[in-house]
Structure 1
Amino acid sequence: MVARILDPRHARLLLPALGLASCLWPHGATLAMGLPRATPARFGPLKLISYYDYPPFVTSPQQGLSFELAGWLHMRAEGLIEGVELELLPRRRVDIQVRQAQWAGLVPWVSPAWFSSPDPAQAPIWSAAVMNDEDLVLSLKRQPFEFEGPASLRGHKLGGVYGHVYTDADPLVASGELQRLDSFTQEANLRMLLLGRVDLAFLSRSGLAWWRQRIPGFDELVHVAAQPRMRYQRHLMISRDLPETLRERLLQLAQTMGGDSQWREVMRRYGLLGQSAEWLNIA
């Protein structure tokens, strides 16, 4: 699935879906999504690829935090790019693409710990952290579970999502000490938990607010373990094959996006504003 933010003909269709207020773009002229063809020095479109197809990153067709990011980057990098394309791919295909020679793009919401680069000359450039996050362990309140490390998962039935790797839990599955039942989507996995077909499920803190609104009675039914499964920071992974001026601009934007008024409004609407200190205490 590819979402393109390229020219004024698409702007009117995509702007409402992106959820960005019309005040982000100057009134009238070119709605800033498409850039004049008389500027060949501009790079584009900037290609974003992501394997996050669930909330808050994707909440419905062409909506979600990744689409908001695509629109925000297009606006803030105006003059350097002709447009932005966001493509959702399985994790394995993202891995293949970023390893290809002369890949020129950006992968949002990821961590250096999740990607390896055998050739330092081809290693991507990592931005400053753009989000603090953590993985939560969910259970039902009628059978609450407190996570105390991977060993505490033994003897339980874990709901997972197809294709997801759980580095702490999968060895227990392989040894038969933990049972794992997978669903095709995160929502289906949460439904399995609510039906009592699994004991536990993992969920990122960043998606918690959305699911609380999506699933009636979520807070009355679901227990969130006091100790998260893991804490981490999300970054932008930037290709070295992008033009240097664009790379530097993207790094600058990542460094300052937390103080950008339009981006803060986006984070507020997704219930993510002001929770960084709660999620992760960084020395």
Structure 2
Amino acid sequence: MRFRSFLIAMLLPLLALRLAPAAETVQLVTYYDYVPWFVPGQPALGLNARLASRLSEMSGGRYRFESVYIPRRRLDVLLQEGKLAMVVAWVHPRFFGDPERTRYFWTGPLMNDESLVVSPRSAPLEYDGPDSLRGKRFGAPGGHRFPDLEPLIAAGEITRIDVPQIKNALQMIGAHRRLDFTVVDRSTLNALKHEHVIDLAQLHVASRPRTASYERSMLVPLGRPELYRFLQGAVDVLGSDSSLLAPPSYPPDKQAGKRPAQ
């Protein structure tokens, strides 16, 4: 009888663990495969990984957020299919054609940012609206959208040249090769100051930003209202946590010393 009671006492905690609901895995997606958002080959680094870790802790075991990079074209398909439990971080409604915020849930802001026009210091451009970029060669990561520039690109008045990453465009501009300008967010440009493959002294940042300051939030599919409510509450708390956006430390860039992309 004593042995039976002992056995039951030993098995009850194990049974409770088996009956406890497992944390739901949610992909915390970014389509930026560069600093400060994501560090290829270093999944624990970058702001997206830091945010995933914080959200997992704050959920108390309900969710396990996994930081992943998904190219923009693929992300659009996955959102349309709605087959994955995912949240897209560090984005704004206009990036997804949702200015009225009706296609998706949108949390409050994680941070503010602005888009800058960068050109060679040897041939500087001052930005005064899209028309001021007519006749220029524009370098941008493939799949990234620029609605204000698309009409001029479609008309052939701006020549778009796709590059693997934004730092490739900045390298080419610094060397004044093939490109006249690119657009880069201030957050990314600040992060790239920690890199060794870009000579910022060779770049000119237009005095007028391409956009006014805008909020970077999280996109949540409409089919996930409970997840959205958790994230909205989490953002309210994270808004007072300055360590979330503290500059991360990155490993030495393996591309240092290599020639810019052509």
Which stretch of the first structure deviates more once superposed, 148-157 or 55-64?
A: 55-64
TM (norm. structure 1) is: 0.72
How far does residue 116 in structure 1 lie from its aligned partner after superposition?
4.7
State the SS of the aligned residue for 1:269.
coil
State the SS of the aligned residue for 1:45.
strand
Contact 1:70–1:86 under 8 Å retained in 2: yes
Query: C-alpha distance in 1, partners of 2:88/2:197?
Result: 33
Deviations 1:127-185 (A, max 9, x none): 01111111110112222211000000012222222222222223222222222222122
Rate the CA distance shift 1:239–1:163 in 2: closer, same or farther, 3 A.
closer
Query: C-alpha distance in 2, partners of 1:243/1:79?
Result: 18
Matched-pair identity in %: 31
> Which residue in 2 is equivalent to 1:133?
113
Rate the CA distance shift 1:140–1:42 in 2: closer, same or farther, 3 A.
same
Aligned match of 2:34 in 54, 75, 99? 54
Correspondence 1:154 to 2:134: yes
> Which residue in 1 is equivalent to 2:10?
none
How far does residue 37 in structure 1 lie from its aligned partner after superposition?
4.7
> Which residue in 2 is equivalent to 1:171?
151
Contact 1:103–1:241 under 8 Å retained in 2: no
> Which residue in 1 is equivalent to 2:52?
70
How far does residue 39 in structure 1 lie from its aligned partner after superposition?
5.9
User: If you compute each CA radius of gyration, which structure gives the higher value, 1 or 2?
Assistant: 2
> Which residue in 2 is equivalent to 1:268?
246
State the SS of the aligned residue for 1:203.
strand
Deviations 1:253-279 (A, max 9, x none): 11221202xxx22312249xxxxxxxx
Matches within 5 A, 1:86-165: 86-101=67-82, 103-116=84-97, 123-165=103-145
> Which residue in 2 is equivalent to 1:196?
176
Query: C-alpha distance in 2, partners of 1:125/1:40?
Result: 29
Query: C-alpha distance in 2, partners of 1:124/1:43?
Result: 24
How far does residue 48 in structure 1 lie from its aligned partner after superposition?
1.8
Rate the CA distance shift 1:175–1:130 in 2: closer, same or farther, 3 A.
same
**Which runs of structure 1 show a deviation greater than 6 angstroms over 4 or more consecutive aligned residues?**
none
Q: Which amino acid aligns with 1:104?
A: A
Q: Which amino acid aligns with 2:48?
A: S
State the SS of the aligned residue for 2:35.
coil
Q: Which amino acid aligns with 2:139?
A: G
Aligned match of 1:213 in 182, 194, 205? 194
> Which residue in 2 is equivalent to 1:239?
221
Contact 1:102–1:241 under 8 Å retained in 2: no
State the SS of the aligned residue for 1:254.
helix
Q: Which amino acid aligns with 1:114?
A: F
Correspondence 1:252 to 2:230: no
Query: C-alpha distance in 1, partners of 2:216/2:168?
Result: 25
Contact 1:50–1:94 under 8 Å retained in 2: no
Q: Which amino acid aligns with 2:32?
A: Y
Structure 1's unaligned 5+ residue stretches are 1-35, 272-283
CA RMSD of aligned residues (A): 2.5
Q: Which amino acid aligns with 1:141?
A: R
State the SS of the aligned residue for 2:219.
strand
Which stretch of the first structure deviates more once superposed, 229-238 or 168-177?
A: 168-177
Q: Which amino acid aligns with 2:35?
A: P
TM (norm. structure 2) is: 0.77
How far does residue 102 in structure 1 lie from its aligned partner after superposition?
6.0
How far does residue 72 in structure 1 lie from its aligned partner after superposition?
1.1
